A = this chain, B = another copy of it.
Amino acid sequence: MKSREGGFLISKVKQVSSRIFDKKLKSYAVTDLNSAQGRIIFVLWKHDDRSISDLVTDTALSKATLSSMLVRLERAGHVKRTIDKNDKRKTIVSLTEKSKLLKRTYADVSNEMIDLFYQGLSEEQIDAFERTLQHILSNLIKFEEDEP
């Protein structure tokens, strides 16, 4: 059987790309948002006013992680948290104007990252890659849901 090390490779890619992403953000004078926080803001740009449970699903982070990250994001003025009127257990996380202004710059950095990622690969290869990645993510999420 062939030896596989997809998980190891993914860890390395994640490590290096986070470092580069953070450096690029700084080079664009984005000093009060890092790549980890950006992942959370990113999902809110796609769908604002989400509960923390929703963000757990969207980001694949634990609720403990999100809880503390949101404190920092709120302190930095990127999001605000309000309690859901209809269900007082829920917290609704919303973007502020400040974070909306960052969207364009963040998108530029993201695009630079994507260009770097996929340098030297064809559209077909990229399509196949992202499809496989999505498939792997589904496998993992299904597993995590089945044995909590």
Chain A interface (Cβ < 8 Å from any Cβ of B) = 2, 4-21, 39, 42, 59-62, 110, 113-114, 116-121, 123, 125-130, 132-137, 139-141, 143-144
How many chain copies does the complex carry?
2
Give Cα A66–Cα B117 distance, bound, in whole angstroms.
Answer: 25
A113 to B4, CA, bound (A): 10
| Chain B neighbourhood of A135, CB < 8 A | 120-121
Residue from B9, B15, B134, B144 in contact with A133 in the complex, judged by beta carbons closer than 8 Å: B9
How near does chain B come to A121, taking the closest CB pair, in angstroms?
Answer: 6
Shortest Cβ distance from A60 into B: residue? B12
Partner of A12 from the list B2, B59, B127, B129 (CB cut-off 8 Å) is B59
Expressed in whole angstroms, the minimum distance between the Cβ of A122 and any Cβ of chain B is: 10
In the complex the two chains form, is A137's CB within 8 Å of B20's CB?
no
13 A–B contacts, CB within 8 A, in A order: A5-B114, A6-B118, A7-B117, A9-B133, A10-B13, A15-B61, A116-B140, A117-B140, A120-B139, A121-B132, A121-B135, A125-B132, A128-B132
